[in-house]
Amino acid sequence: MNPARRSSLHGRCALGAALALLALPAIAGCSPSAGAGSSAAGAPQASVTAATPAKSVPSTATSAPAATAASVVVTKGDQINNATCSSASCAHISATTAGFSGTVTCSVAGPEGKFGVTWPQGASETKQSPNYYGYPGTLVSVTCSANGQSAVGSLTW
């Protein structure tokens, strides 16, 4: 075989081996079954071992669970009837807390502003406050806070 032809074939086969690594079509005249160092026509051939494709490894890093937002839900508690509140709408103010960390302190406000006393409550607890209310159609709000968290819940009485 012509030495120039052999050199050209050798270069093409080496290129073909590189293309095989990229999963591209082989170059005609290069025999993958020929032993290392020779082609079917006797020209030197590069020996190529295909690399095993890298496998995707799932991430083992875990992200912190999303913090639950603190919340307060206001409902009517037990009905009362005393000297200061005797209408059918008079009832204790009940609050349900969720998503807080630590003991919560709650207070209540109506259209006239804050009233009554503050009370302690669990981080996720339903508790009837010591305060009561009795003005139908007005908005009552309970504000609870703990460790930098704060939430407000409201109810139209």
CA distances from 11 to 21, 40, 55, 80, 92 (A): 16, 15, 31, 98, 92
Q: Are strands 104-110 and 139-146 parallel, antiparallel or unpaired?
A: antiparallel
Q: Are strands 126-133 and 71-79 parallel, antiparallel or unpaired?
A: unpaired
Model's pTM, two decimal places? 0.57
The per-residue pLDDT for 67 is: 60
| pLDDT above 90: percentage of residues in the chain | 54
The per-residue pLDDT for 68 is: 74
The per-residue pLDDT for 66 is: 53
Structure tokens at 99: 């998503």
List pLDDT tens digits, range 29-41: 544 444 444 444 4
The per-residue pLDDT for 47 is: 40
Cα angle, residue 106 at apex, residues 104 and 109 outer, rounded to 5°: 165
| pLDDT above 70: percentage of residues in the chain | 57
Q: What are phi and psi of 14, to 5 degrees?
A: -65, -40
Structure tokens at 133: 């209310």
Q: How far apart are the first and last CA of the chain?
A: 103
Structure tokens at 57: 């490894």
